[in-house]
Amino acid sequence: MKSTLAILLLSAWPLAAEAQTLVAPFDTSYSVVNLGSVPGLPLNYGGLVVKIDDPSKLIIGGAANGANGALYTVGLVRDAEGHITGFNGEATFFAAAQYNDGGVAYGPGNVLFLARWPVNELGQLRPGSVATDRVDLLAPFGVESSHSSLNFVPVGFPGAGRMKLCTYIGGQWNDVSIAPDGLGTYSITNVTQVAIPRLQGGPEGFTYPPVNSPQFGAPSMLLSEYAAGKVVAYELDGNGDPLVETRREFISGLTGAEGANIDPVTGDFLFSTFGGFSQVVLVRGFTRPCPADFNGDGNLDPDDLSDYISCFFAQPPCPRADFSNDGITDPDDLADYIGAFFGGCP
């Protein structure tokens, strides 16, 4: 009996450990940090996004896919370089968000847009709202049941500003046009099913890693594949849509990959997992969106300049004093940093 129990425990161990693996060649440039479960957040986890006006907080879906679904906020612990290292305190209720799923993303006017699964609806929350303000049925626009995620193509990418939306079972990819409805939210004016082969693996949250990140030679997106237990990368065409023939595995060995977004402070990739091991996972190694924001607090101010100068003149200089990343710390780095500081953030 004892040996049978031991075998059962051993065979269960890899699942409990959630053995996520960075796939080559990404393993040479990136590292995975499992932040664990969010204290007090009801299972299952939905999508997630760093709060746009307060990068010390994460917004994340709880009780995802159900009628009691809601968005919660939880404090983020960041290290001296701004990287998220853990959670501060318990999750607290942020807003009612029934049926929330893998897509939670800011759109124009800092409105939060929400994928609602399995009801195939799009939700919207105005800044400051504690409930979903507007809900649109998507079937009338030709969106197959059911919509699982959405995002907006960021500045600097082909198709910047466009809204994209995908479905879970069929992997249908759509381009969405919206217009202000006069109430602080947006009407859907058109949805176009993009004529590409379907996305595989049960697509969920997707996001756009900073351009010029290592191993990403072209503007790309990262997509959580729930059914496949993977995160994959696709290069983008001129409209910001994925080129299916460029699919590369980024992470494998996941259980229920769900939400996906980029930390605007550090460029780190954040994703959630749905199910018994509901967790938040972070991947480091992407290009920082604003390298001049040296202390990674989301603001560019004289503290950053003084922090860089302290780093540069420390004996020995701290590693990030090599601002040009050429392996040598010299006065060119100081000049480059000062140039970046006065150049501002993108």
Residues that bind Ca ion (CB under 5 A): 101-102, 293, 295, 297, 299, 304, 322, 324, 326, 328, 333
Q: How far is the CB of 296 from Ca ion (least distance, A)?
A: 7
Query: Using only C-alpha atoms, what is the Rg of the chain?
Result: 21
* φ, ψ for residue 175, nearest 5 deg: -105, 135
**Tokens 């100068």, residue?**
309
b vs e for 225-263, b when ≥16 Cβ sit within 10 Å of the residue's Cβ?
bbebbbbbbbbbbeebbbeeeebebbbbebbbbbbbbbb
Residue type at position 323: F
Q: How far is the CB of 253 from Ca ion (least distance, A)?
A: 19
Nearer to Ca ion, 268 or 293 (CB): 293
Q: How far is the CB of 290 from Ca ion (least distance, A)?
A: 8
The CA-atom distances, in angstroms, between 262 and each of 55, 77, 284, 290, 321 are: 12, 16, 10, 13, 24
Nearer to Ca ion, 167 or 185 (CB): 167
Nearer to Ca ion, 144 or 293 (CB): 293
Q: How far is the CB of 35 from Ca ion (least distance, A)?
A: 19
Q: How far is the CB of 18 from Ca ion (least distance, A)?
A: 17
* φ, ψ for residue 160, nearest 5 deg: -50, 135
User: Nearest to residue 107, comparing CAs of 183, 163, 47, 191?
Assistant: 163
Q: How far is the CB of 15 from Ca ion (least distance, A)?
A: 19
Contacts of 73 (CB under 8 A, 6+ apart): 51, 57, 58, 59, 60, 91, 92, 94
Go through the chain and tell me how many residues it has: 346
Nearer to Ca ion, 238 or 319 (CB): 319
Nearer to Ca ion, 18 or 304 (CB): 304
Compute the distance between CA of residue 117 and CA of residue 121 in angstroms, rounded to an integer.
7
Compute the distance between CA of residue 151 and CA of residue 115 in angstroms, rounded to an integer.
10
Q: How far is the CB of 132 from Ca ion (least distance, A)?
A: 17
Nearer to Ca ion, 26 or 226 (CB): 226
**What residue number has its CB nearest to Ca ion?**
324
The CA-atom distances, in angstroms, between 291 and each of 31, 323, 337 are: 19, 8, 9
Nearer to Ca ion, 175 or 322 (CB): 322
Nearer to Ca ion, 212 or 299 (CB): 299
**Neighbour count for residue 2 (Cβ, 10 Å):** 6
Q: How far is the CB of 27 from Ca ion (least distance, A)?
A: 25
